[in-house]
Amino acid sequence: MTAMATLTRHAPDNADHRVVEWVDTLARLTQPDSIVWCDGSADERQRMLDESVAAGTLIKLDEQKRPNSYLARSHPSDVARVEARTFICSEREDDAGPTNNWAAPAEMRETLSGLFDRCMRGRTMYVVPFSMGPVGSPLARLGVQVTDSPYVVLSTGTMTRMGADALAQIGPDTEWVPAVHSVGAPLASGEEDVVWPCNETKYIVHYPETREIWSYGSAYGGNAILAKKGFALRIASKIGEDEGWLAAHMLLIRATNPEGRTFHVAAGFPSACGKTNFAMLRPSIPGWTVETIGDDIAWMAPGPDGRLRAINPEAGFFGVAPGTGHSTNPTAIATIEGDTIFTNVALTDDGDVWWEGLTDDPPAHLIDWQGRDWTPESDSPAAHPNARFTVSAGLCPTIADTWDDPAGVPIDAIVFGGRRATNVPLVAQARDWEHGVYLGATLASERTAAAEGTLGELRRDPFAMLPFSGTHMADHWRHWLNVGEKLNQTGAAPLIFQVNWFRRGENGRFLWPGFSENSRALAWMTERLEGRTDAAESPFGLVPVDGAIDYASAGVSDEDWNALFAIDPEALSAEADDTDVFLARMGTKVPDAVMRQHAAFRSQL
């Protein structure tokens, strides 16, 4: 018997033979030293945490200050998603569309076979079965990732339902998404490992038709936790289009008004634009509560009653640390008191963590995210701007008791938002579903540190899905129009809104205080749902009438309030011109409805 065959025999008895054969094939290609089938148990997790500490990949934080928590420091070149190295390899280029990098599948498979050849030598290959969504839910989907990164196994263990229960769901006829990941850093015999192995060459590759993911060279976030953006957005957006449901880069909340009426809201903002914060909103308005269901991804399908029902396919939060503090997001701070893996934050002298925005005053001395001494006089930030925490959703004090309901929750409102210094009002309601799709399709936002690229640059980010669509973006829009039509026929389609917390005044200051005060925009949306308040026409849709939102209690002056809704015809006309260019770039597949809505926008100016 060959060594490899011996290794594969460690597969659990109930493992589906297709999974076993797939693992076997990959083991022959990548030639790891050993194979571990992950069962998702607490013992297994502790063992991997201990091993990672011994290897230097994780630093154990002070047990009193931050129980059962760890710090990881990535390689300085591996700190965010690499959009330029992310590929959608559909059979036809036209199915990937102008917003995605495309390569012919056959060509890409050849490139990847070369890269993956013997790439796990000297390492362990972990086999990581997982369920996106509650195990056994009709809305859940299964996947198996192989990876040579223990950090990625630990992350996937938090972000998904990982282990034996998920594997047991895979029978001979079950669909599952195979995901292959390697850091691309084989070890020669006797070669000492580095703390964060990765490779300068990176490929994050998706084959939407065959529902496969291959990722090489990075261990960071969405590049490597393939269940998340790779599966739950890129592959799922294609599955959703084939099957009639929506995969969305959206948070999910349940809001309860003072009368006890509940509303479910899904909100799509681009990366690092406030989803986690809105998902954990602590309303400033007395009598309101907001509970968390998800902070990044929603899968939404028309339910048996014709209403749109949503699940959070994830099981944890991979949240942005900088800017998260007691005053901005106390719920997140409570969530990460312990049992958290932090990545690229700073280390305090007493074994705790710190990042810009955690406290008003920085500690006098820190070890920065690259392991260097840091003081408030240092001229680079102590934490990387895309530093993150990884923590189980169940630890969030505001988690809704329905967050893992296998049947999902019924959606009342859908919200789009971005970082816009100008033009876009604080809140507006789409006139109907078609107008809402137009608002989502033309969404723009300033670039953040969540991906490599030029910070602050204004770019189109349709549906907050620019880096996450597994299909042609215009097909994505048509699909949303189709789902809306179906909802309008059989049930009630949710109302659609657009928000902007980031409009700026003189000297670049934010006009709106944001965070807890965002509850005022949320309350207005629910009042629109209930038909309790009138709205006024604007080029962006329906906006609050005078007195509908108590902005004075949010500390906002009349002048700033007006500025939050100000219409500058010249600037809007320039924006409409830019939208012309953008829609032309999307090509001939742009639905007529979107063109019609754009013409209507222009005619309003």
Report the distance separating Cα 390 and Cα 319, nearest Å. 7
- 52, 160, 257, 271: which one contacts ligand GTP (CB under 6 A)? 271
Contact status: 291 vs ligand GTP (CB under 6 A): no
> Reduced to 3 states, what is the DSSP secondary structure of residue 348?
strand
Q: Are strands 427-429 and 388-392 parallel, antiparallel or unpaired?
A: unpaired
- 45, 141, 229, 384: which one contacts ligand SPV (CB under 6 A)? 229
Question: With CB under 6 A, what is the number of residues at the site for ligand SPV?
Answer: 9
DSSP 8-state code for residue 513: -
**Dihedral sign for Cα atoms in the order 271, 544, 577, 98:** positive
| Contact by Cβ (8 Å): 247, 480 | no
Report the distance separating Cα 499 and Cα 442, nearest Å. 13
- 23, 166, 272, 593: which one contacts ligand GTP (CB under 6 A)? 272
Dihedral-angle region of residue 190 (phi above 0 means left; psi in -120 to 50 means alpha; beta otherwise): left
Q: How many Cβ atoms are within 10 Å of 348's Cβ, its own excluded?
A: 18
Report the distance separating Cα 433 and Cα 112, nearest Å. 42
Buried b (16+ CB within 10 A) or exposed e, 33-44: eebbbbebeeeb
Contact status: 319 vs ligand GTP (CB under 6 A): yes
Binding mask 295-334 for Mn ion (x = CB under 5 A): -x--------------------------------------
Question: Which of 89, 119, 198, 273 is labelled catalytic?
Answer: 273
Residues ≥6 apart with Cβ < 8 Å to 151: 52, 57, 58, 72, 196, 219
Q: Which stretch binds ligand SPV (CB under 6 A): 43-51, 198-206, 220-228, 321-329?
A: 220-228
- 49, 393, 450, 496: which one contacts ligand SPV (CB under 6 A)? 450
Q: Compare residues 271 and 597 and give the one whose CB is closer to ligand GTP.
A: 271
- 70, 318, 416, 477: which one contacts ligand SPV (CB under 6 A)? 318
Amino acid at 72: A
Contact status: 450 vs ligand GTP (CB under 6 A): yes
- 37, 216, 497, 515: which one contacts ligand GTP (CB under 6 A)? 515
Closest CA to 298 of 87, 470, 132, 166: 132
Name the token pair of 16: 């589906």
Q: Compare residues 247 and 450 and give the one whose CB is closer to ligand SPV.
A: 450
- 214, 269, 374, 524: which one contacts ligand GTP (CB under 6 A)? 269
Q: Supply the minimum distance, in Å, between the C-beta of residue 249 and Mn ion.
A: 6
Q: Compare residues 134 and 222 and give the one whose CB is closer to ligand SPV.
A: 222
Closest CA to 446 of 249, 269, 256: 269
Contact status: 528 vs ligand SPV (CB under 6 A): no
Name the token pair of 333: 């701070």
Residue 203 interacts with which of ligand GTP, ligand SPV, Mn ion, none, CB < 5 to 8 Å by class? none
Task: State the first-to-last Cα distance of the chain, in angstroms, to the nearest integer.
Answer: 76
Contact status: 273 vs ligand GTP (CB under 6 A): yes
Binding mask 468-507 for ligand GTP (x = CB under 6 A): ---------------------------------xx-----
DSSP 8-state code for residue 231: I
Q: Supply the minimum distance, in Å, between the C-beta of residue 270 and ligand GTP.
A: 7
Contact status: 354 vs ligand GTP (CB under 6 A): no
Report the distance separating Cα 132 and Cα 139, nearest Å. 9
Q: Is residue 273 annotated as part of the catalytic site, yes or no?
A: yes
Q: Compare residues 148 and 296 and give the one whose CB is closer to ligand SPV.
A: 296
For 391, the enclosing helix (H) or strand (E) is strand 388-392
DSSP 8-state code for residue 420: -
Contact status: 230 vs ligand GTP (CB under 6 A): no
- Which spans of this chain sit near Mn ion (rule: CB under 5 A)? 271, 296
- Which spans of this chain sit near ligand SPV (rule: CB under 6 A)? 81, 221-222, 228-229, 271, 296, 318, 450
- Which residues are known catalytic residues? 273
- Which spans of this chain sit near ligand GTP (rule: CB under 6 A)? 269, 271-277, 295-296, 319-320, 322-323, 328, 450, 501-502, 510, 514-515, 518
